[in-house]
Amino acid sequence: MKYLVVGLGNVGNEYEGTRHNIGFRNVDAFAIKQNAQWEDKRYGAVAHTRVKNAEIILLKPSTYMNLSGTAVRYWAQKEKIAIENILVIVDDLSLPVGKVRLRGNGSAGGHNGLKNIESCMMTQNYARIKFGIGNDFPKGAQVDFVLGKFTDEEDKVIGEKVEYVGEMIKSFCLQGLDRTMNLYNKK
């Protein structure tokens, strides 16, 4: 079985370590744990790994956040991966820092990366791990907040949850969406 696990973020040094790039951080950590090597390919950096019988293709789109769907659609078609075997990891302002939730579908909730995936894939029915980045910013400062870095205190929480997300990825690929939601959304 083949899976596409996509971490959303923006390429470039100026975006490294920002809240908006939490998707990249999660797939980077998973790749390290799996000894998977990144290669620059069309529309993004790609790494291949396996967990038992699951072949996993990790993707960090190079299209910038707002055009993430182009990369997701390309790699899903190229690798012949069904929509139910796609998992997207995305930052979420509506969740407290470090809170993670797995969903099997839903609206983009104002997130431009998810909006573009929805548009390119022509469905809202794909799995996503929403990774909480908090929303402690004054009115009108959302862009600066999401493109800002985590505090040292927040970063400790994030580090622990990145490990947790790695376990969620494995579970999604080996046990499926429903079982993984039941196991991990309760914690």
* 3-state DSSP assignment of residue 114: helix
* The residue type at 153: E
Question: Is there a catalytic annotation at residue 20?
Answer: yes
The catalytically annotated residue of 20, 60, 111, 130 is 20
What is the C-alpha to C-alpha distance for residues 179 and 65, in angstroms, rounded to an integer? Answer: 29
- Inter-axis angle of helices 177-184 and 152-175, nearest 10: 140
Region label for 17, one of left (φ > 0), alpha (ψ between -120 and 50) or beta (otherwise): left
* The residue type at 129: I
What is the C-alpha to C-alpha distance for residues 2 and 75, in angstroms, rounded to an integer? Answer: 12
Written as six digits, the tokens of 85 are 């075997």
* 3-state DSSP assignment of residue 178: helix
Question: Phi and psi of 117, rounded to 5°?
Answer: -60, -45
Catalytic residue list: 20
